[in-house]
Amino acid sequence: MATECSFPDSLIDEDPLKALEELSKALQGDSNNAECFCQRAYAHILLKNYSCAADDAKKAQQLKPNLPLAFMRTGIAEYHLNHYESAHAAFTQGHQLDGSDKSFEIWIKRCEEMLSEETQNSSINRTPAVPPVKYDWYQTESQVIVTVMAKNVPKDGVCVSFMEKELSAVIRLASGEDYKLHLQLLHPIIPQQSTFKILTTKVEMKMKKTDAIRWEKLEGEGQECNIKHFDPNQYPSSSHYTRKWDKMAMDISEEEKSEKLEGDAALNKLFQQIYSDGSDEVKRAMNKSFMESGGTVLSTNWKDVGKRKVEASPPDDVEVKKY
C-alpha cells in the first residue's frame, strides 16, 4: 500500500527543483503513491513544466480518484497549456469532491471566460491537421532505443520519465502541440543509466538493459521461458520488414556528428574526434602532452613530445603551481 508523501507544499515552495529530484527518487521505490505524484505535479507547475505536471496529476487521479488536490493540479496544468475544456472538466470534478474549496469556483470561472473568448475569436477557416507522429525502436546488447520522429523539437520541450518497467515522455512539437508516449516495457531497465537526446529530426531515448537479453517486443509481460541471449544479427523492432542495423547505427553516428555545438562543447567534441580518428602515435602524443603539462598542452606530434618532457604552458594570466 502506498504511504503518505512527506513533501508538503511549503517545502516544495522553498526549492521546487530539489523537491522534484527527491520526489522522483521516492517514486522509484513506490510507483503507486498518489500523493507523491500529486506533489511532483506541484513542483512541475512551479517550474512551469506544465505538460509533466498534467501527466503526474492525472496519474495521481488514477491511483486515488477521490483526491481533490489531484484534480486541482490537473486543472492548473491544463489551464496553462491553454487546454481550457480539459481544465474546466478537472476543476468541476474536483469541486464535486470538495465543495468547501472556493478555489475550484474561481478556476472554473476563469476557464469559462477563456472558453467564451475562444468562441468569439474562432475563425471559419480551420488549420490543416498535423501529421501523426510516429515512433520506432531497436536494441543493442546493452540498450533499448526508442526514437520519436519529431523534427525541430525545442531543447526545453521534452520531459521523459524512466521507471523500472515504464517509459513516459511528453514532447512539445514544433506546431506547439504535445505528443505523449507511455510504454509498459517488456523487461526491466535501469532508470538511472537511461538517457534521452534531442536531435534536429527526432528525439532519441536510450534505456539501459538490466540483462544482456534479446527483447522479443517492446511492451508486454516477459516470460522467463522465452528469454533468449542477445544476437546482434536479430534486432526486433516495431517495423515489419528487415533493416540493415549496422547502416542505421552508422547513420545515427553521422547525424550526431553533424549536430552543431558551440563554445567549450564544440572544442571538446573536436578533441574527441581527433583522438578517436587518430593513429596510435597521435593518441600517445595527446595523452603524454596533456598529462605532463598539467592539461595546458595538447599535442598530436609524437616525434616531438615522445623524446622530451612536455612543460606546462598556461595562458599569460595564469600561474602554474607545483604540489
Write the DSSP assignment of 214-278 as a string of letters.
E-S-SBS---GGG-EE--TT----S-SS---HHHHHHHHHHHHHHS---HHHHHHHHHHHHHHHS
CB contact at 8 A, 139 and 236:
yes
Torsions phi, psi of 163, nearest 5? -125, 175
pLDDT value of residue 2: 43
* C-alpha span between 149 and 33 (Å, rounded): 32
pLDDT value of residue 254: 64
pLDDT value of residue 225: 45
pLDDT value of residue 242: 47
pLDDT value of residue 121: 76
pLDDT value of residue 209: 95
Q: Which residues pair with 171 in a beta bridge?
A: 158, 179
CA nearest neighbour of 135 among 203, 199, 197: 203
CB contact at 8 A, 94 and 58:
no
pLDDT value of residue 127: 56
Torsion of CA 256, 258, 260, 265, to 10 degrees: 50
Look at the alpha carbons of 85, 87, 92, 93 in this order and tell me if their dihedral is positive or negative. positive
User: What single-letter amino acid sits at 81?
Assistant: L
* C-alpha span between 312 and 113 (Å, rounded): 68
Torsion of CA 26, 30, 33, 37, to 10 degrees: 40
State the greatest distance between any 2 C-alpha atoms of the chain, in Å, as a whole number: 83
Cell readout for 110 is 476563469
pLDDT value of residue 1: 38
Q: Which residue has the cell 509481460?
A: 221
CA nearest neighbour of 280 among 302, 307, 296, 309: 302
* C-alpha span between 105 and 91 (Å, rounded): 8
- Which regions of the chain are under pLDDT 50? 1-3, 124, 225, 235, 239-242, 323
pLDDT value of residue 294: 76
SS3 155: coil
